[in-house]
Structure 1
Amino acid sequence: MTKQETQIMKGVAILLMIFLHLFNQMSNVELCRSFIYIGDIPFVYWLSAAANPVAFFLILSGYGMHFIHVRGKGDIHRWSRIGKLYLHWGGILVLFTIPSFIYTGRYYVDFQQIISNYTAFNTSWYGEGWFLFPFICLSLLSPWIFKLTDRYKVRWILPISFLLGTCTSFIISRYGAQYLYKNHWLYNPFLILHLAPSFIFGAMLQRTGFIHKMQEKYNSRWLWLALILVVIIVCVTRTAAWGPLYAMAFIVLFLSAPRWQWVDKGLMLLGNHSMNMWLIHAWFCYYIFHDLTYSLGYPLLIYIALIVISLLCSYLVNAICSLPLFIIEKCQNKK
């Protein structure tokens, strides 16, 4: 998987993320004017089961970090990536919590909440940012994870990882995460265990070179039919247990199937802004402009509007965050 293909798949992942958060709750879907139904279920709600963006991002991250690992030079940019991620997260919080708190009547009065949210240890102000802290921990732990997995054959790593993901998914589905959520010192380690299988799946894809082998052997439009069948199976079964396997199959089939060049260019654009858009879009559909967003009525119109506004806000966030980086660079050059 090339760097360009990684950005393409990040673009797909953020489209899935936005679709999921718009249409995975029936209370929100009922606000839309749906024309297509599967039985009594609106099509967009039925299709939301196929949106599993977290697994996509983790597989892509595991793939990229394992590529760096096998080069043997160490990930010299690990801390700068984490620092940039925190810079953008902090910029987004500053930009959106002020209007959000004015709207809800909440303010910066709890020092512990401020620290917890800005470190992403407990993203109580923006629940959709729950992924940040466990992801950062996985990034830091990746050298030791890869040293462990590289000792064993892929045919053992994959089923063990899948079993771990299935067990943690079962705990969440059967008992919920509310008990764990009350204690983030327990909740975050649990999330790291829950997310690790997808991360490891990505590393195994890189280790085996499976995507490249598929691309060399198959390049048929029939792969799109296979991808559609995979999506239908996930929508019918509606279980999170398939998460890592589904995301891996989707990535392999999508990257192996023939695509129009303009589609790839559009997805790469979204991929470059994917993390910002992840941390931005829910402010509009959940926290500040919920009623305005769904007042557009039609699911496709709502979906396109949220993609566009999230992308435009991402450009704004990039511009804001580039200022301190520019100042730091100038200071370093003077020295």
Structure 2
Amino acid sequence: MEFTRDQIKITKGVAILFMMLLHLFCTKNYEGLYTPLIFIGNTPLMYYLALFGDCCVAIYCFCSGYGLILGYKKDEKSYFKKNILRILKLYINFWIILVIFVLILGPILGKADVFPGSLKTFILTFTAISTSYNGAWWFITTYIILVLISPWINKMVIKKNNILIVFISFILYFMGYLQRIKGLVSFDNEILNWFFVQMGFLGTSQFPFVIGVIFADKKIYSKLYNFTLKIKFKNLIGLSLILALIVAHGFVETLFIAVFTGIAFICIFNLIDKPKWLNEILRFLSNHSTNMWLVHMFIYSAYFREIVYAPKYSILIFLWLVVICIAISYVISYINKIISILFKDNNKDTISIN
């Protein structure tokens, strides 16, 4: 019993909620931001829940690696073409949001000096070479690189020793973490500096991606699934383990362990039997996850901070931001649909002329 497409989709729905939770509440400086209801010592409980959300990128990378190798095995010949189309679709979605939130809303809301700012900044962001407008956009560049190098990762996992691959991948993860968090290597040269920044991001992202590829290739989840069939009170134990992960991360607050909590969460969460209504909600959120990822930081930070935090209490703030992002996602999806229709119509016209 391997991860199904639906399970991967639902897991991505969880990841976007984790991301928004992390960005909204992962701070101990809550005064003037929101009103905590429950404290652990002097720290709001919401801080620890938000801290656990730092596994969101690891979850998404794992799911991406898992899904991509399945596509690779199914049709290796068309794999590259499908990946280019996958990247192009992301770019189109990204460009729609860039136009709305940077070119249109920036000047309207009196922030033209930052959004769009200089022509150089806009061009670098438009190409996703350097996404400086939005802190959550760094992953666009990293994701594109992962997709482009995925054929080589897939081949290595299929043909080489997986223990050695995991070891090398972990070393790269460790080096990437040091570069990303500590900034061990920096240059006055802008290009060299950009390169090492990207290597830091890629280093921390490729490890969960590679683990996802290995999980799919070696059918590791099936082994876990078959093992849990023999366990009584599986759901209770699973929920207890997730709680233990949250508590453990509260004691060890470093981002370094996010990849491990993320992979553990993916397995435990999917092994637990969930009510149908919860799966439906997460499936719905997954459909909007890309747009939510790309717009939420503009909403809660750049433009409408006071509006987002107006409800004062964390659960209301969280739900309010989710609702706003989903509403905007519908608009973006509608524009995207119109562009797709126009593009198809133009293609038909070109074919008929020729």
Query: Of residues 165, 170, 176 in structure 2, which corresponds to 1:162?
Result: 170
1:145 to 143, 146, 153: 153
CA deviation after TM superposition for structure 1 residue 5, in Å: 0.6
In the alignment, the residues of structure 1 paired with residue 48 and residue 173 of structure 2 have an alpha-carbon distance, to the nearest angstrom, of 23
SS at match of 1:104: coil
After superposition, the Cα gap between the structure-2 partners of 1:29 and 1:205, relative to the gap in structure 1 and judged at 3 Å, is farther
Is the 8 Å Cα contact of residues 157 and 213 (structure 2) preserved in structure 1?
no
- Structure 1 residue 131: deviation in Å? 0.5
- Alignment counterpart, residue 71 of structure 1, candidates 47, 71, 74: 74
Q: Which residue of 1 aligns with 2:111?
A: 104
Measured against aligned partners, the alpha-carbon deviations of 1:155-196 in whole angstroms (never above 9, x if no partner) come to 332233223212322333334798799632332233222311
Q: How does 1:291-310 map to 2 (within 5 A)?
A: 291-310=306-325
- The higher radius of gyration belongs to 2
User: What is the 5 A alignment of 1:309-320?
Assistant: 309-320=324-335
Distance in structure 1 (CA, Å) of the matches to 2:31 and 2:345: 49
Runs of at least 5 residues in structure 1 that lack an aligned partner in the other structure: none
Aligned to 2:212: 202
- Maintained 8 Å contact 1:281/1:310: yes
CA drift of 1:205 comes to 1.1
- Which is worse superposed, 322-331 or 3-12? 322-331
Give yes or no for contact 2:13–2:289 (8 Å, CA) kept in 1.
Answer: yes
Judging changes above 3 Å, is the alpha-carbon distance between structure 1 residues 231 and 132 closer, same or farther for their aligned structure 2 residues?
A: same
1:36 is aligned to 38
User: How many residues matched?
Assistant: 335
1:50–1:234 contact (8 Å) kept in structure 2: yes
Q: Which amino acid is 2:130 matched to?
A: N
User: Where does residue 47 of structure 1 map in the other structure?
Assistant: 49
The structure 1 residue matched to 2:180, chosen from 157, 160, 172, is 172
- Shift in alpha-carbon separation, 1:109–1:154, aligned structure 2, 3 A: closer
Matching residue of 1:276 = 291
TM-score scaled to structure 1, two decimals?
0.93
Give the AA of the match of 2:261: Y
Does the Cα contact within 8 Å between 1:201 and 1:244 map onto a contact in 2? Answer: no
Contact map agreement 1:29 1:42 (CA 8 A) in 2:
no
Query: What CA deviation, in whole Å up to 9, does each residue of 1:187-209 have, x standing for no partner?
Result: 22332223111110110111121
Show the counterpart of 2:132.
Answer: 124
Classify the secondary structure of the residue corresponding to 1:150: helix
Distance in 2 between residues matched to 1:176 and 1:150, nearest whole Å:
34
**In structure 2, what is the equivalent of residue 26 of structure 1?**
28
Are 1:188 and 2:198 counterparts?
Answer: yes
State how far apart, in whole Å, the 2-side matches of 1:94 and 1:332 are.
Answer: 24
Residue segments in structure 2 that go unaligned for 5+ positions in a row: none
SS in 2 for 1:103: coil
Judged with a 3 Å threshold, the aligned counterparts in structure 2 of structure 1 residues 237 and 179 are, in CA distance, closer, same or farther, namely farther
CA contact (8 A) 2:186 2:196 kept: no
Cα deviations across residues 279-326 of structure 1 (Å, max 9, x unaligned)? 011111110001221122000000000011111111110001111110
Between 1:175-184 and 1:261-270, the stretch displaced more is 175-184
Q: Deviations over 1:92-142 (max 9, x none)?
A: 111112223433242546221111111121111112101101110110111
Task: Please tell me the residue identity of whatever aligns with 1:136.
Answer: I
For the residues of structure 2 that align with 1:163 and 1:245, how far apart are their CA atoms? Answer: 14
For 1:108 and 1:233, the matched residues in 2 are separated by: 42
